Chain A
Amino acid sequence: DVKVTQSSRYLVKRTGEKVFLECVQDMDHENMFWYRQDPGLGLRLIYFSYDVKMKEKGDIPEGYSVSREKKERFSLILESASTNQTSMYLCASSFQGQIAYNEQFFGPGTRLTVL
């Protein structure tokens, strides 16, 4: 059974803390994505990666960075957490090739609260 796992389901952090969200997939996928999900806004792409050590900005990269040192792992980093980063964070992965035809597989999400 294919799987995308995220390190935490719930996380509470304080303003100014550095926060790491980890995502691991076991499907040997080349593409990995980080989204945030907010009511009324749907899913917004933060960053994505199409290969190890490669990263591309999505629609809302400000305040975030990412790391992909291994194919199966894609980390999202909040350098200095702020209250407006309180959200649900979803990781996804897909096979390489034309994005237009490939399904994305999602992790269960991490609900982050920044106090």
Chain B
Amino acid sequence: GDSVTQMEGPVTLSEEAFLTINCTYTATGYPSLFWYVQYPGEGLQLLLKATKADDKGSNKGFEATYRKETTSFHLEKGSVQVSDSAVYFCAVPGTYKYIFGTGTRLKVLA
């Protein structure tokens, strides 16, 4: 069945460090892929998405490329800020529902 495997956190980085959060998936067909972010005390909000293979989604300095060959959708940012501290979820739509990863907590230190 459809599934998402996301790297476990927490991830602690210094400000301006490079970030990678790994996500691999199994899915039927070629659905869109999503990264959601949850800031403290809030619900999830869409960070970025990619709709087909080799597409790159980007937003707020974050990027992720839809890799069909490796079934991956890793999230990257070149220089993190304290304000990026949050929980990040990779998500893959299944047949009738979304499948979310378990979330990766990122803490950025000044």
What distance in Å separates the Cβ of A8 from its nearest Cβ neighbour in chain B?
13
**CB-defined contacts of A62 to chain B, threshold 8 Å:** none
Q: Is the CB of A101 within 8 A of B43?
A: no
Evaluate contact between B102 and A101: CB separation under 8 angstroms: no
A84 to B67, CA, bound (A): 39
Q: Which of B34, B43, B44, B102 has most chain A Cβ within 10 Å?
A: B43
Determine the main DSSP class of A at the interface with B: mixed
**What is the interface of chain A, defined by CB distance below 8 A to chain B?**
4, 33, 40-43, 45, 48, 56, 58, 90, 92, 98-109
**For residue A102, which residues in chain B have a CB less than 8 angstroms away from its CB?**
93
Give the distance to chain A from B84, nearest Cβ to Cβ, in Å.
Answer: 19
Is B26 an interface position by the 8 A CB rule?
no
